[in-house]
């Protein structure tokens, strides 16, 4: 482990197919080559990437939105696929090394990887030494939604396993609109997608990066503001999105998407028509 090096990398779990009833399954990426001719994709399901973020900075290790936790359960039949843990291993990081887990919001497809089920069928923290952080408005809202089992393409709240982390006092529920997690790493409340949704800003000297959570889930949502189906408050989502993207393009920031299939990150800029575009990342 290189403790003084700054690393910002996506820990891709791969491609998933999300169905209208809220279920999902791992998807063969070759289907994306002919997605336009695939009759079920787009009609009954949508294809999404799941890309947690790793930040290694000033000797601390942070994971943002640890994914579906695919294959983490001791008796999982998906052992041979990539997960947040196998991906951390590429960077020689063990789950025990993670100091903080920041959650942009508490939808199942963003938090399931916080826990796994061990050999004794016990729910266990995936990152045993980490503090799990999220906004108080998100927690309050999630608790009101637990009986709302309306199918939402993987985007429902299911805190059954997550409650264990709260009971074990592994969480830090913050109330401020901007919350400094560590020097250079800030959680910024945006609302919109959910009432307590936050994004994460990472700043190393003049180099700025943002992890957009579900405020801007993919590159296709950069100039696409009407997301009434997936945002709890689409007016607030639009407002927050506009102001963050304007700021980020002034800062020539790199932005990271959680659900992209193709362009998972890039430097944000505006073209002559003021449309937001993605440029190649350079500062790596
Ligand atoms: Zn979501």
Separation CA 9–CA 281 (nearest Å): 12
Q: How far is the CA of 155 from the centre of ligand 1 (A)?
A: 5
Left (φ > 0), alpha (ψ -120 to 50) or beta: where does 262 sit?
Answer: alpha
Region of poorest pLDDT, from 90-99, 119-128, 226-235:
226-235
Domain 7-279: give its CATH code. 3.60.15.10
Q: How far is the CA of 199 from the centre of ligand 1 (A)?
A: 12
Q: How far is the CA of 105 from the centre of ligand 1 (A)?
A: 7
Task: Say what the pLDDT of residue 98 is.
Answer: 98
Give yes or no for residue 24 having a pLDDT over 70: yes
Highest average pLDDT, of 31-35, 73-77, 266-270, comes from 266-270
17 vs 187, more confident: 187
Separation CA 245–CA 268 (nearest Å): 8
Task: Say what the pLDDT of residue 224 is.
Answer: 76
Mean pLDDT of the chain: 89
Separation CA 235–CA 217 (nearest Å): 17
Region of poorest pLDDT, from 89-98, 163-172, 230-239:
230-239
Does residue 147 sit in helix, strand or coil? coil
Tokens of 79: 């052992």
Task: Say what the pLDDT of residue 283 is.
Answer: 53
- Strand 100-102 and strand 60-64: the pairing is parallel
For the chain, what are the domain ranges? 7-279
pTM of the model: 0.93
* Alpha-carbon dihedral sign for residues 68, 74, 77, 80: positive
Task: Say what the pLDDT of residue 151 is.
Answer: 57
Q: How far is the CA of 268 from the centre of ligand 1 (A)?
A: 22
Q: Per-residue pLDDT tens for 238-258?
A: 999 999 999 999 999 999 999
* Per-residue pLDDT band at 37 (split at 50, 70, 90): confident
Q: In percent, how much of the chain has pLDDT > 70?
A: 94
The owner of tokens 């997605």 is 35
Give yes or no for residue 40 having a pLDDT over 90: no
Task: Say what the pLDDT of residue 173 is.
Answer: 98
Q: How far is the CA of 50 from the centre of ligand 1 (A)?
A: 11
* Per-residue pLDDT band at 225 (split at 50, 70, 90): low
Q: Could you list which residues have their CB under 5 Å from ion ligand 1?
A: 107, 155, 214
Q: How far is the CA of 120 from the centre of ligand 1 (A)?
A: 31
Region of poorest pLDDT, from 41-45, 107-111, 123-127:
41-45
Highest average pLDDT, of 154-158, 200-204, 220-224, comes from 200-204
Separation CA 109–CA 146 (nearest Å): 15
Q: How far is CA 169 from CA 69, 74, 162, in A?
A: 21, 24, 11
25 vs 225, more confident: 25
Separation CA 97–CA 63 (nearest Å): 11
Separation CA 71–CA 279 (nearest Å): 34
Count the helices and strands in the chain (H runs, E runs). 5, 18
Give yes or no for residue 134 having a pLDDT over 80: yes
Q: Per-residue pLDDT tens for 143-192?
A: 998 877 665 555 688 899 999 999 999 999 999 999 999 999 999 999 99
Contact criterion met (CB below 8 Å) for 169 and 128: no
Task: Say what the pLDDT of residue 47 is.
Answer: 87
Q: How far is the CA of 241 from the centre of ligand 1 (A)?
A: 15
Highest average pLDDT, of 37-51, 57-71, 138-152, comes from 57-71
Q: How far is the CA of 274 from the centre of ligand 1 (A)?
A: 27
Q: How far is the CA of 269 from the centre of ligand 1 (A)?
A: 25
Task: Say what the pLDDT of residue 31 is.
Answer: 82
- The residue-averaged pLDDT of 28-44 equals 76
Give yes or no for residue 202 having a pLDDT over 70: yes
Task: Say what the pLDDT of residue 138 is.
Answer: 97
């Amino acid at each position: 482990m290189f403790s003084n090096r700054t690393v910002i990398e996506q820990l891709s779990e791969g491609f998933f197919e999300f169905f209208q009833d809220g279920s999902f399954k791992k998807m063969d990426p070759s289907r994306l080559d002919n997605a336009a001719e695939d009759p079920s994709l787009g009609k009954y399901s949508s294809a999404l990437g799941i890309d947690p973020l790793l930040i290694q900075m000033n000797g601390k290790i942070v994971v943002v939105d640890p994914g579906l936790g695919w294959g983490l359960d001791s008796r999982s039949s998906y052992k041979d696929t990539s997960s947040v843990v196998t991906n951390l291993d590429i960077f020689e990081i063990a789950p025990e090394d993670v100091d903080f887990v920041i959650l942009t919001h508490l939808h199942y497809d963003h938090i399931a990887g916080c826990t796994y089920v061990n050999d004794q069928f016990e729910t266990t923290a995936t990152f045993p030494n980490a503090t799990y952080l999220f906004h108080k408005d998100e927690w309050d809202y999630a608790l009101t939604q637990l009986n709302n089992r309306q199918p939402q393409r993987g985007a429902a709240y299911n805190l059954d396993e997550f409650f264990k982390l709260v009971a074990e006092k592994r969480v830090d529920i913050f109330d401020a609109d901007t919350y400094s997690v560590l020097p250079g790493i800030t959680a910024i409340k945006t609302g919109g997608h959910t009432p307590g949704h936050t994004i994460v800003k990472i700043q190393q000297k003049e180099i700025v990066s943002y992890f957009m959570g579900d405020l801007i889930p993919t590159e296709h949502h950069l100039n696409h503001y009407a997301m009434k189906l997936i945002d709890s408050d689409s007016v607030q989502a639009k407002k927050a999105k506009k102001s963050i993207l304007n700021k980020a393009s002034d800062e020539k920031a790199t932005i990271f998407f959680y659900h992209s299939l193709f362009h998972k990150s890039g430097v944000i800029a505006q073209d002559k028509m003021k449309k937001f575009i993605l440029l190649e990342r350079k500062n790596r």
